[in-house]
């Protein structure tokens, strides 16, 4: 099953580019930019990655992002992630970035978006990986700050397909951002949001009803509400699930307790994603493998995660058909 999983075409829909900052690059950028970091080696950084919940991760994650200063830094970060994508047979990726993490430190919005975008364009040309960019609002900040960020994004509509919502879910429910999401929709952005990761299932319902979200990031706590589960099945609302992230942040104690395969078999449009792979111990292939190790599945079931992600992605119908054919051909050839 390992070689089947490695070679399977994959589509990633939940990846924070700041969460792909490997300790080695963190060190290199700290040196290049003369930024002090409280670690002596990449191994020391890795040893500090012991999390007990979402907040304990976020504190370290925002600190790590401090080494990102220049456009070239954002380019290098994104390019390193795309090389990982290539190795993992990721053919399309939709990545999040958190402008406020950088603008709050005095880095210009343009610096961030242009560096990421330049690498994505290079990835399209040199690696054959297509991509979309989604800007997330930090939900621990107020809605006013989100509005400022939305206004900064208007000059970059050609590079940003949608807006999302991340950071501390507890205490920062979707209703706090209803107005700015309505404005984003009016400006033509698609919307997504993290919901039902640590927070209650009603955050998922409100994300759909108040934020106009076309997919839900994480969403694993939907199982607490049977009516919601039925709605997610009927409407085929995609959930971008992140198995290794959920394990590291103690959303589930053990991969055997994870509900993703149950949700797949119930007919939900669930997908597998890496979230913050430099912090959670694995990119796409590792996430697929971890799920398959804990939950025996057929090859068709494993491939279904890719087929679901293709349907859930923000690409054209023609492109969805092309990637679906590619995935079905891979499955057929592998089984022949």
Residues catalogued as catalytic: 197
**93: nearest Cα among 322, 301, 334, 283:** 283
We find the least distance from the C-beta atom of residue 330 to Zn ion, in angstroms, to be 27
With binding defined as CB under 6 A, does residue 194 bind ligand HPA? yes
We find the least distance from the C-beta atom of residue 6 to ligand HPA, in angstroms, to be 25
Q: Which alpha helices (DSSP H) does the chain contain, by range?
A: 2-7, 23-32, 42-47, 54-64, 71-87, 99-103, 109-122, 143-153, 178-186, 202-211, 226-235, 243-248, 260-265, 277-280, 284-294, 299-312, 317-335
With binding defined as CB under 6 A, does residue 245 bind ligand HPA? yes
* Options 9, 10, 11, 16; binder of ligand HPA; rule CB under 6 A: 16
With binding defined as CB under 6 A, does residue 167 bind ligand HPA? yes
Residue 19 interacts with which of ligand HPA, Zn ion, none, CB < 5 to 8 Å by class: ligand HPA
Cβ nearer to ligand HPA, comparing 93 with 304: 93
Burial class (CB in 10 A: 0-12, 13-18, 19+), 189: buried
Task: Determine the Cα–Cα distance for residues 97 and 95; give it in Å rounded to an integer.
Answer: 7
Task: Determine the Cα–Cα distance for residues 183 and 107; give it in Å rounded to an integer.
Answer: 24
Q: What is the DSSP code string of 221-256?
A: GGGG-HHHHHHHHHHT--EEE-HHHHHHTTSSSSGG
Is 89 known to sit in a ligand binding site?
no
With binding defined as CB under 6 A, does residue 199 bind ligand HPA? no
Residues 19-48 that bind ligand HPA (CB under 6 A): 19
We find the least distance from the C-beta atom of residue 246 to ligand HPA, in angstroms, to be 9
* Options 276, 278, 288, 290; binder of ligand HPA; rule CB under 6 A: 276
With binding defined as CB under 6 A, does residue 310 bind ligand HPA? no
What does the chain come to in residues?
A: 336
With binding defined as CB under 5 A, does residue 169 bind Zn ion? no
Residues 47-76 that bind ligand HPA (CB under 6 A): 54
* Options 184, 197, 213, 310; binder of ligand HPA; rule CB under 6 A: 197
Task: Determine the Cα–Cα distance for residues 321 and 231; give it in Å rounded to an integer.
Answer: 26
- Binding-site string for Zn ion from residue 216 to residue 255, where x marks contact by CB under 5 A and - marks none: ----------------------------------------
We find the least distance from the C-beta atom of residue 334 to ligand HPA, in angstroms, to be 32
Residues 264-283 that bind Zn ion (CB under 5 A): 275
- Separation in Å, CA 39 to CA 58, 140, 264: 17, 27, 41
**260: nearest Cα among 227, 293, 283:** 293
Please report how the helices 109-122 and 71-87 are oriented relative to each other, as an axis angle in degrees rounded to 10.
30
We find the least distance from the C-beta atom of residue 4 to Zn ion, in angstroms, to be 27
With binding defined as CB under 6 A, does residue 166 bind ligand HPA? yes
Which two three-digit tokens encode residue 297? 């599945």
> Which letter does DSSP use for residue 275 in this model?
B
We find the least distance from the C-beta atom of residue 260 to ligand HPA, in angstroms, to be 15
Task: Determine the Cα–Cα distance for residues 244 and 105; give it in Å rounded to an integer.
Answer: 30
Task: Determine the Cα–Cα distance for residues 185 and 176; give it in Å rounded to an integer.
Answer: 16
Is 275 known to sit in a ligand binding site?
yes
With binding defined as CB under 6 A, does residue 92 bind ligand HPA? no
With binding defined as CB under 5 A, does residue 18 bind Zn ion? no
Is 117 known to sit in a ligand binding site?
no
Q: Which residues contact 140 (CB under 8 A, 6 or more apart)?
A: 167, 168, 172
Task: Catalog residues that contact Zn ion under the rule CB under 5 A.
Answer: 275
Task: Catalog residues that contact ligand HPA under the rule CB under 6 A.
Answer: 16, 19, 54, 166-167, 194, 197, 245, 275-276
């Amino acid at each position: 099953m390992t070689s089947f999983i490695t070679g399977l075409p994959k589509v990633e829909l939940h990846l924070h580019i700041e969460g792909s900052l490997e300790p080695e690059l963190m060190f290199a950028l700290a040196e290049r930019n003369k930024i002090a970091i409280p670690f002596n080696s990449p191994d020391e950084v890795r040893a500090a990655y012991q999390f007990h919940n979402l907040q304990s991760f976020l504190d370290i994650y925002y600190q790590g992002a401090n080494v990102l200063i220049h456009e070239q830094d954002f380019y290098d970060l994104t390019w390193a992630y795309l090389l990982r994508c290539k190795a993992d047979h990721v053919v399309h990726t939709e990545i999040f970035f958190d402008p406020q993490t950088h603008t709050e430190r005095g880095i210009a919005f343009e610096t961030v978006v242009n560096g990421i975008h330049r690498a994505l364009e290079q990835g399209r040309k040199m690696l054959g990986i297509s991509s979309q960019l989604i800007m997330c609002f930090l939900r621990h900040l107020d809605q006013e700050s989100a509005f400022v960020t939305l206004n900064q994004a208007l000059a970059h509509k050609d590079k940003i397909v949608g807006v999302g919502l991340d950071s501390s879910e507890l205490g920062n429910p979707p209703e706090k951002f209803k107005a700015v999401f309505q404005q984003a929709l009016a400006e033509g952005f698609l919307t997504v949001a993290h919901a039902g990761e640590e927070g209650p299932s009603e955050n998922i319902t409100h994300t759909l009803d108040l934020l106009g979200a076309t997919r839900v990031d994480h969403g694993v706590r939907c199982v607490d509400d049977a009516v919601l589960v039925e709605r997610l099945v009927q409407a085929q609302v995609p959930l971008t699930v992140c198995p290794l992230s959920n394990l590291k942040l103690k959303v589930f104690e053990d991969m055997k307790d994870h509900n993703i395969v149950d949700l797949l078999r119930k007919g939900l449009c669930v997908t597998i994603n890496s979230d913050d792979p430099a912090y959670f111990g694995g990119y796409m292939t590792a996430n697929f493998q971890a799920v398959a190790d804990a939950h025996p599945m057929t090859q068709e079931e494993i491939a279904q995660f890719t087929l679901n992600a293709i349907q859930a992605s923000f690409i054209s119908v023609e492109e969805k058909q092309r990637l679906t054919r590619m995935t079905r051909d891979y499955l057929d050839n592998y089984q022949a």
